[in-house]
Amino acid sequence: MKTLISSDVRLLANLIQEGKVVVFPTETVYGIGASTKNEVACLRVYEIKGRPKDNPLIAHFHSIEEIEKVCVLGELGRKLLEKYAPGPLTLILPKKDKFLFPKELDTLAVRIPKNPVIREWIKLSGGAISAPSANLSGRPSLTKLADVVRYFDGKVDGILIAEEPSYGIESTVVSLVGEHPALLRPGSIESKELKIILPELVFPNPFETLPVESVSHVPLSPGTKYKHYAPSAQVLLVSTDEFVQSLKAGFDPKATAWIGFSLSSNEEKGKVLSERKDVLSKEGEGSLEFDHFSFVSTNEEYTSKLYAFFEACDLAKVQTIICETPKPGKGWEGLINRLEKASLRK
């Protein structure tokens, strides 16, 4: 299949109108979308991703008014969207228009992407666009155009080129359809902020974003209950002390990669890094083309680099990725959730 790779929103909107599938960037991660009104096109998205059929899609809208036409917003929904939309927040709302995908559910996940170019594209597409993250099911979501092209060129009808994701993890998902508002998936908009509007916010434990009817009520081992966002390499989530120790010894530097805060400023630790780089460059094999070290200074920077680093590590056939635990405070919630999922053994 020939894939149209273009920044022309009109051309890419035409594809959606024709029932085609298009990959596009949002402020969180890339999405793979089709018209919410077109069930056949939405089902193709599942095929391309290899996604289980019982995992519903988020409908992406260009305005609050458009959401209100098809869903019951309620006072809380309105307040949340007025504060956080457009932005990385997905709400599960009661559906008014039962013909929207997925037809079997009486709820709809909705969100408004931040980038105005993407909203313009959604508007030109003539309605909402249903899209999961653009990745093969179970793998980390994608945040770089080059990775998107590698996976999806020839498999989808179009790839929309626009500003790349900056947040780096998927949106926060809040359900407003149960007895209490529930945080189904942590993300960049954190529970502490949400609680200002939703003092009764509950946290299903463990975090699980599948609809209740598709989740077995028999207790499962964590490995089967969680949905993974994992690279092929083994991910180790470690304390700062363990992280620094791992740089000094115990891991083959050619088969290992590190992402974290330590080594960014401290001179002593910086020396360790340069020693390891010496080892890498001496051993050659082109391994320095791939930088085995990704140093970050904030949780937000860590979040925005994480999935792209996982992809780069898999491409370089790294076997182990050592991740330093995030810093307590802002940006911790979504990041620790994704790191924990990625580090669960398959």
Q: Contact between 171 and Mg ion (CB under 5 A)?
A: no
Q: Say which entry of Mg ion, ligand TXA, none residue 215 contacts (CB below 5 to 8 A, set by partner kind).
A: none
- Applying CB under 5 A, the span of 37-45, 68-76, 132-140, 332-340 interacting with Mg ion comes to 132-140
Any known ligand binding at 44? no
Q: Which residue has the tokens 């105005």?
A: 116
- SS3 state of residue 322: strand
Q: How far is the CB of 311 from Mg ion (least distance, A)?
A: 14
- Distance CA(294)–CA(306), nearest Å, equals 9
Give CA–CA dist 187/189, Å, rounded: 6
Q: How far apart are CA 134 and CA 141, in angstroms?
A: 6
Which range, of 2-10, 130-138, 263-271, 272-280, touches ligand TXA by CB under 6 A?
Answer: 130-138
- Asked whether position 143 contacts ligand TXA by CB under 6 A, the answer is no
Minimum distance from residue 30 beta carbon to ligand TXA (Å): 7
Q: How many helices (H) and strands (E) does the chain have?
A: 12, 14
Q: Please, which residues have CB within 8 angstroms of residue 92's CB and are 6 or more apart in sequence?
A: 107, 108, 109, 173, 174, 175, 176, 177, 184
Binding track over 56-75 against ligand TXA, x by CB under 6 A: xxx-----------------
Helix, strand, or coil (residue 259): strand
Q: Is 141 annotated as a binding residue?
A: yes
C-alpha distance across the termini of the chain, in Å:
33
CB under 6 A: which stretch of 6-14, 204-212, 228-236, 301-309 binds ligand TXA?
204-212
CB 82 within 8 A of CB 19: no
Instruction: Give the C-alpha separation, 25 to 42, whole Å.
Output: 18
Q: What angle do CA 321, 228, 168 make, to 5 degrees?
A: 70
> Judged by CB under 6 A, which of 9, 13, 15, 26 binds ligand TXA?
26
Cβ atoms within 10 Å, residue 186:
22
Amino acid at 140: P
Residue 256 among known ligand-binding residues: no
Integer angstrom CA distances of residue 117 from 82, 120, 168: 20, 5, 18
105 binds ligand TXA (CB under 6 A): yes
| 202 forms part of the interface with ligand TXA (CB under 6 A) | no
Can residue 28 be called a binding residue for Mg ion (CB under 5 A)? no
Is residue 306 a contact residue for ligand TXA (CB under 6 A)? no
Interface with Mg ion: number of residues (CB under 5 A): 1
- Give the whole-angstrom CA distance, residue 230 versus residue 134: 14
- Minimum Å distance from CB 89 to ligand TXA? 9
Q: Is 133 annotated as a binding residue?
A: yes
User: Is 3 a known ligand-binding residue?
Assistant: no
Residue 46 is labelled as binding a ligand: no
Helix (H, G, I), strand (E, B) or coil at 343: helix
Could you say which of 35, 143, 171, 287 contacts ligand TXA (CB under 6 A)? 171
Strands 89-94 and 172-175: parallel
Residue among 35, 36, 38, 90 that touches ligand TXA (CB under 6 A):
90
User: Binding partner of residue 109 among ligand TXA, Mg ion, none, CB under 5 to 8 Å per kind?
Assistant: ligand TXA
Annotated binding-site ranges for ATP: 51, 55, 107, 133, 141, 185, 229
Residues making contact with Mg ion (CB under 5 A) = 133
Residues making contact with ligand TXA (CB under 6 A) = 26, 28-29, 31, 55-58, 90, 92, 105, 107-109, 111, 131-133, 170-171, 173, 184, 209-211
